[in-house]
Structure 1
Amino acid sequence: MRIALALPLAVEDRLAADAVLHGHDVVARCSTAQELASRIDTVTPDVVIAAATERHLTAQLLAVCDEAGVRMLALVGGEVERRLAASVGLYEMAPSDATWPQIEAALGSLRRSFVQDAAAQPPGSRDGIVIAVWGPAGSPGRTTLAINIAAEIAAAGYSVALGDVDTHSASVAPALGMLDEAPGFAAACRLAGAESLTQAELERIGQRYRSGHSSFWVLTGIGRASRWPELSDSRVAATIAQCRKWVDFTVLDTGFSLEMDEEISSDVFSPRRNAASIAALREADRVVAVGDADPVGLSRFLRAHVDLVETVAAGRVVVVMNKIRASVIGMNPAAQVAQTLYRFGGIDAAAMIPYDRAGLDAAILTGQTLADAAARSPVRAAIRALVTSRLLPPSAIEQKIRTRSWRSRREEKARRAVRRHR
């Protein structure tokens, strides 16, 4: 096993000698996390062992290791160091005074977990979950919610792809500060139409949102609304089917309109502008229906919700009311919104997202998720609670310690090795 170290000198000397005695190859001994991060691609370790201090462990090092498919283990000497490791997104830890056999045991348990996961789900058999985010006209917060749902699922240790299926006003790319000259989802649809869409192609046309704890793939939307014919219903369905095999979760930002325009067209075989959104909703395992929590937004949502439940089964719909605030609703706004939804739409148990202008502005300004731009925002906390309680499978909810998806990182490492030898 090839091992790289980022440790204080005394600990480094002890563990390096022990690792060699146990038959391992120490390929790097670095004094800082920054130094090790710059050498990962050169030394290509299998495992990085870092002390949980600000000098030796950073979010940048964790992100570089994630991209290279390198496992990481933090050595912690107390609660302060444990919290520091958790704050950058690393939950695989061992005591700082652990002997090498103890460290090998910790690494071995992670390796066995990976092998068991791979045996339970062999390559090519992955059946990922698809979540579509929909809302009526009026900017209720579809894109913001889709982006941060993807981020929170990724932070829980799953591989995630975020796709922009909105044929009216695609917004994911500018919200994350990404280029959209070559829209990823439209390119995927074209390949799907030619029966050439593969997981390798998805990674080629996708962009990566990089974060120390919640990185995910992004398939950007069409930059010009006139390109909507590229997203036919059959192509969208085929692309979603391939995404299920690619990642654990696919989050889709859809358009607002559910109008079926066949009745106003003489050619029933011509493309439909809203077909992409409707296909995404029908293919989704969960539909997050978001509305704006003000009198106008509530009225729009209740009218459009009738069309939504005619398109997808009501049992798959999770209702979310966004921008909850007393200034437009009155005292106890969450209770008033819940009462209105139940009285006029028969909607019960809707999730409530508060309004935090400062946090949302910070995310837009920096082109980041709320987890990165405003980690303590009440909006982020509410979305994380929504993901944990309503969108993740029960097994993930019961987990007390987040586990990383070694499968995706090892697959990426293998692909990088193949590219280097070409």
Structure 2
Amino acid sequence: MATFALAMPVNLEDQFAFDAVHHGHEIVLRAVSAPELASRVAGAQVDIALVASEARYLTDRLIAACDQAGVRLIAVASSEREQRYASDLGLYGIVDAMTGWSAVDALLDQSQWSSEPETSARSTRGQVIAVWGPGGAPGRTSIAISIAAELAALGHSVALADVDTHGASVAPALGMLDEAPGFAAACRLAGTDTLTTDELARIGQRYESPVGGFWVLTGIGRPSRWPELSAERVGTTVAQCRQWVDYTVLDTSSSLENDEEITSDLFAPRRNAAAVTAVRAADHVIAVGGADPVGLSRFLRAHVDLLETVSTRSVSVVMNKVRVSASGMNPHGQVTQTLSRFGGIEHPILVPHDLAAFDGAVLSGKTLVDSAPRSPARLAVRDLVTSRLVPEVDESQPRRSVFKRMLARR
């Protein structure tokens, strides 16, 4: 049995209240508007809030109040316009009013409210890869997408999550819609202890590729929504992703400072908490920098903060956009020598500056694996994946025939 709070027009309220009681649940709170429900939900013993998908009954403030109180929020939509309204607010728990209580029951059956604890069929623990880089657009998102694509091309199940709270850009880079951010929705479910692998598959979007597709959890569309990605929720979501796929690639923001602890309350949300949590939870950290004088300076200064934050020894340095015009003759030697002399960094991965390939990938909404498989930048990322992240792939997988290898290249 679950306890419900209702906020909807009288006709819908009578219908759903009767069905809830008929199915053994209890109505403990009724409200006439979203502000009233938001102000009362914290003090009531409510498991689920069932509200109409209208501006009067569903607002950002109500979603935040339910998240803070640990109450699961379900919207009842009577039209396509109301469904779009709930989706624009980042809500995935949406049922059709015409379907009635059967839709609510189906949604509850997918969660932990009315079923036994989920037993995961996956016996192994997935790996988490965090892609980080300093400010100045060194190419974090491009490298994160390329890493996810290369892992998927090797036959692994992969999820790419956009954890950037300052400028999420995975969705537009892959030509996906991001009205309803998937990672924020996963964090919301994690806050109510209802996040499962089935929910992740429902929330995530699929990037399809003939070489190997992967899941995508899109980022927040507006930077002002960063409080939804708290440290606890991000940590719970990442832990659940380990049970979902073989590899989870996290595209993080650049800021790792904890200065907010000085100026805010101890329990106040912190904008950089998502990036810090992602980096600390990762098994492998990919540090991306720009291969030019300004980018190298920014990277070397911020790399110290990264080493003080990570909890893993597996940190690989990737210098992106290596080119003669910015580094002079022998750019590979110049960049390698600079990193070794001023940062003590040896054996970095150097990604050539292939502007045409990356522009073509963004224009078509594809990865380098699909749009420019012979690009030198793509080959450098593939070397990173096979040598640093999954070096055992050649030994653990049986050799394929010449015909199958030709098909894989195509």
TM-score, with length taken from structure 1: 0.65
Equivalence for 2:235: 237
The one-letter code sitting in structure 2 at the alignment partner of 1:359 is A
Gaps of 5+ in 2: 1-119, 402-410
What CA RMSD, in Å, does the superposition of the two structures yield over aligned residues? 1.7
Equivalence for 1:281: 279
Provide the identity percentage.
67
Q: State how far apart, in whole Å, the 1-side matches of 2:388 and 2:200 are.
A: 28
Write out per-residue CA displacement over residues 16-43 of structure 1, whole angstroms, 9 at most, x where no aligned residue. xxxxxxxxxxxxxxxxxxxxxxxxxxxx
Q: State how far apart, in whole Å, the 2-side matches of 1:233 and 1:256 are.
A: 16
Q: State how far apart, in whole Å, the 2-side matches of 1:385 and 1:153 are.
A: 11
**Of 302, 305, 308, which aligns to 1:307?**
305
Equivalence for 1:340: 338
1:393 CA drift (Å): 4.7
Alignment of 1:327 with 2:325, yes or no, is yes
| Cα distance, 1:215–1:137 mapped onto 2, change above 3 Å | same
Alignment of 1:202 with 2:179, yes or no, is no
Alignment of 1:272 with 2:270, yes or no, is yes
Alignment of 1:250 with 2:252, yes or no, is no
Matched residue of 1:389: which SS?
Answer: helix
Q: State how far apart, in whole Å, the 2-side matches of 1:302 and 1:349 are.
A: 15
Q: State how far apart, in whole Å, the 2-side matches of 1:266 and 1:178 are.
A: 36
1:213 CA drift (Å): 1.1
1:313 CA drift (Å): 4.4
1:123 CA drift (Å): 1.3
Alignment of 1:316 with 2:314, yes or no, is yes
The one-letter code sitting in structure 2 at the alignment partner of 1:175 is A
| Cα distance, 1:360–1:395 mapped onto 2, change above 3 Å | closer
Matched residue of 1:252: which SS?
Answer: strand
Equivalence for 1:296: 294
Report if the CA contact (8 A) 2:283-2:312 is conserved.
Answer: no
Equivalence for 2:259: 261
Write out per-residue CA displacement over residues 378-414 of structure 1, whole angstroms, 9 at most, x where no aligned residue. 11111011100001152455536369xxxxxxxxxxx
Q: State how far apart, in whole Å, the 2-side matches of 1:266 and 1:166 are.
A: 21
Matched residue of 2:321: which SS?
Answer: strand
Equivalence for 2:191: 193
Equivalence for 2:177: 179
Gaps of 5+ in 1: 1-121, 404-422
Equivalence for 1:363: 361
Select the structure with the greater relative contact order (CA < 8 A; seq sep ≥ 6): 1
Greater share of residues in helix: 1
Matched residue of 1:315: which SS?
Answer: coil
TM-score, with length taken from structure 2: 0.67
How many residues align structurally?
A: 283
Report if the CA contact (8 A) 1:258-1:274 is conserved.
Answer: yes
Q: State how far apart, in whole Å, the 1-side matches of 2:178 and 2:141 are.
A: 15
Q: State how far apart, in whole Å, the 1-side matches of 2:331 and 2:307 are.
A: 25
| Cα distance, 1:234–1:203 mapped onto 2, change above 3 Å | same
Matched residue of 1:322: which SS?
Answer: strand
Matched residue of 1:280: which SS?
Answer: helix
| Cα distance, 1:396–1:243 mapped onto 2, change above 3 Å | farther
| Cα distance, 1:267–1:142 mapped onto 2, change above 3 Å | same
Report if the CA contact (8 A) 1:126-1:246 is conserved.
Answer: no
Equivalence for 2:379: 381
Alignment of 1:224 with 2:222, yes or no, is yes
**Of 164, 177, 193, which aligns to 1:166?**
164
